[in-house]
Amino acid sequence: MPDIVIVGGGLAGWRTAENLRRHDVTGRITIVSNEEPGPYDRPPLSKQILSGKLTLDDISLAKGDAFDAADVTWVTDVAVSLDPEAKRVTLKSGESLVGDAIVIATGTRARRLPFAAMDHCHVVRTASDASTLRERLISLDVPSRVVIIGGGFIGAEVATAARQHGHDVIVLEGQVRPLEGVLGTTVATWLQPLAGTAGVDLRVNQLVRDVTRGDDGTFDVATEAGTMTADVVVVGAGALVNTEWLHASGLDVTNGVAVDKHLLAAPGIYAAGDVARFWYHGEQTRIEHWQIANDHATYIAQHLAGRTTEEFSTLAYFWSDQYGAKIQMLGHPHRDDEVELVNGSLEANKWVAHYRRDGELTGVIALNNPRELILSRNLFSA
C-alpha cells in the first residue's frame, strides 16, 4: 500500500489521514505540521473559544483513541520545499520525507499589517491566538475598549465575543460596508445593521494609518478621521495562502495551488483545503470554507484508495455566527450576481435570498433561517 506524506495538520490534512485508514490504506502516513500533535477545528476559535462556550479540548478532531486509530507519524516541523517528481518534501530541520503521494494542505495564515505595534496586536488563526486573546479579554477591566480592524467574518465574530465579555467594541471597516466584497452590495447592506443591534460601534470607510503602543500598554489607532485609544487591538485583515515553500517546485501557485478536476497539481501531488485552487462550476477558485476542506479530504482519500475515478464535485457551504445572528450560505456566487429576497423579511431579521447569474441559481443565503436553507439544497440538484 502507498506511503503518504501530508503537509499540514489542520482539518484537510487530518481528515485525509482518517479517511485513508477508513478505506484500508495501510501504508505509512506522515503528517507535517508547525503545531504540536492534536488537530482541531478552526471555526470555533473566533466563536465559541473566545466566548468561553467551548474549550480547546472540545474542538479536538482526534478525541479518545482517534489519534492512535489513524496510526500517523506526526512531525512537528515546517516544509521548505517540494520536489514533485521525486515526491520529496524537505523540512526546515533538514530532514527529507518521500512518499508515493503528497497531499498539500498548508492552508492560510492571518494577514499582518505594517503597523508599528503589530507584534502587540492580536490575530485569530490558531488555537494559541484564540487562547491568548480570550485571556486578555477576561483580564481587562469591564468595560475596556477593544478596537477591531476589519469587519469581515472574523472581525465580526471577534467583536461579538468581545461584547459578550462586556467590553466596548469599535470595528473599523475599510469598505463602504462589511462583507461587500464577498456577498455583494445588496446582501451586505441588509446585514450591516446587525452590528448596531448588538451594541457594536461599526465605522466604515476607515483607513487605518498606524497602530502604536504606549508605555502604559494602551494603543493609539491612527485613522484618517483622527486617533483613538484602545486597550486591545485585533487585526482581522484576511488571510494569506501558504505557498511560499512551493515557489521552486514548478507547480502553479498563483493564488493557491492549481489542481485539476481530481485535485491533482501534478502526478501523485494533491492539494486540499484553503490552499487549493480547484474547479468549481466551470472556474478555478479557492474557497476558504470548513466544508470544502472536509470534502477535499474525503475525495482525495477515496481517489488514493482507488475507490473513485469520478471528478471532484461539491456544493459549497459556510456559516457565521455574528452579532447574535446566524448567516448561512449554499453555493459560491459572485458579488455582482442578482439577488432576490424569497422568504421572510428584513425587518424580522429572518430571511432567505437567492443569487442568480444569467438566470441560473448560484447561491442561497439565509439569516436566522437554517430550516429553509437546508430545504434549499434541493434547488441545486434540480
The domains located in the chain, with CATH, are 4-107+242-304 (3.50.50.60), 112-235 (3.50.50.60), 333-381 (no CATH)
* Number of Cβ atoms within 10 Å of the Cβ of 244: 11
Share of the chain above pLDDT 90, in %: 98
Asked whether residue 353 carries a pLDDT value surpassing 80, the answer given is yes
pLDDT at 312: 98
Closest listed residue to residue 236, CA positions, set 107, 125, 106, 114: 125
**159 and 171 Cβ atoms separated by less than 8 Å:** yes
Q: Output the pTM of the full model.
A: 0.97
* Arithmetic mean of pLDDT, 356-366: 97
Q: Rounded distance, CA 101 to CA 117, Å?
A: 42
pLDDT at 38: 86
Q: Rounded distance, CA 86 to CA 260, Å?
A: 20
Q: Model confidence at 14, in pLDDT bands (50, 70, 90)?
A: very high
pLDDT at 149: 98
Asked whether residue 370 carries a pLDDT value surpassing 60, the answer given is yes
pLDDT at 224: 95
List Cβ neighbours of 62 (8 Å cut-off, separation of 6 or more).
14, 38, 39, 70
**82 and 166 Cβ atoms separated by less than 8 Å:** no
How much is the CA Rg of the chain, to the nearest whole Å?
22
Model pLDDT for residues 124-164, shown as the tens digit of each residue: 999 999 999 999 999 999 999 999 999 999 999 999 999 99
Q: Rounded distance, CA 244 to CA 242, Å?
A: 6
Q: Which amino acid is located at 18 in the chain?
A: E
DSSP letter at 182? H
Q: How many CA atoms lie within 13 A of 184 on its CB side?
A: 20
Asked whether residue 1 carries a pLDDT value surpassing 90, the answer given is no
* Average pLDDT of every residue of the chain: 97
Q: Model confidence at 335, in pLDDT bands (50, 70, 90)?
A: very high
Asked whether residue 382 carries a pLDDT value surpassing 80, the answer given is no
Grid coordinates representing 373 are: 436553507
Asked whether residue 381 carries a pLDDT value surpassing 90, the answer given is no
* Arithmetic mean of pLDDT, 24-32: 97
pLDDT at 209: 98
Q: Rounded distance, CA 202 to CA 194, Å?
A: 10
Q: Which amino acid is located at 251 in the chain?
A: L
Model pLDDT for residues 68-78, shown as the tens digit of each residue: 999 999 999 99
Q: Model confidence at 37, in pLDDT bands (50, 70, 90)?
A: confident
Q: Rounded distance, CA 346 to CA 322, Å?
A: 16
Model pLDDT for residues 206-256, shown as the tens digit of each residue: 999 999 999 999 999 999 999 999 999 999 999 999 999 999 999 999 999
